Amino acid sequence: RAAQDRALEDGGKLFEEAARWRVLKTTAVELEARRPGEKRRTATLQVRAGVVRLKRPKTADPGDPAELELTLVEAREVGAPKGVTPVHWRLLSTLPADTAEQADEIIQFYRLRWRIEQVFRALKSDGLKLPEVQMQNGTKLLKLAALGLAAAVRILQLVDARDGSKRPALDVADEPMIEAALAIGPTLEGKTVRQQNPHPPRSLGWLAWIVARMGGWNCYYKPPGPKTMGIGWHDFTQHAAGFLLARQLPQNV
């Protein structure tokens, strides 16, 4: 997202450029509440896009190119509610935006930025702590990162489901692990209503509640985040492995 009104190679300014372009499309997007007191709302955006050539800043290395060609996509809100700051995004990209569909794709990438940050938080500081892994072989580290990325996505699926997703738990765990959850879940419930799993068995919300409890969530205060879900998933898989192993042992031993 462009934060500075940069100079263009032709003498113009970046923020003025899009005003001369035609509107590619008008689209409605859902905006989540980001601050206390805000509400989720629908914003109507006018989208413009074109190619700009940024002039090399005076403070840049003289060896840098004299200009840099990029795509600029502007999404400006029209008809914003009274008292609300209208959305105005100026997005610079190396991707083309010759069509409304291509411009919309760049906007969607930008809107996913917080989601992408959450994935990497789960992969690093708030979960799997991948940067702390020491390996001499780059190929092995790359394979570990791929496995870790899959685990981070699973953790976020559980976070998303904490409020009661009715998607099947099979989206995250296989049938043997769900059977283990059916056995483990009741042991995590307490005496109060808030300490009971309120979600339908075998739903993703139900599994997320179990994993959160195993991660240390007490059913009160703030909802479980990626860190709690990461700890809980690790403990759950260990308990599930023990449960499944015990089930295979002869019953008369």
pLDDT number for residue 170? 96
pLDDT number for residue 252? 64
**Is 121 part of any domain?**
no
**Is 196 part of any domain?**
yes
Last residue of a domain, one of 111, 144, 172: 111
Q: Is 197 left (phi over 0), alpha (psi -120 to 50) or beta?
A: beta
pLDDT number for residue 253? 56
Domain range for 143 is 136-248
**Blockwise average pLDDT, block size 10, the chain, 253 residues:** 92 92 94 76 95 92 91 96 92 96 95 86 76 80 86 91 91 95 96 94 96 94 89 94 88 63
Judgement on whether residues 150 and 67 belong to the same structural domain of the protein:
no
Last residue of a domain, one of 62, 77, 111: 111
pTM score of the predicted model: 0.69
* In contact, 131 and 202? CB cutoff 8 Å: no
Structural domains of the chain, count = 2
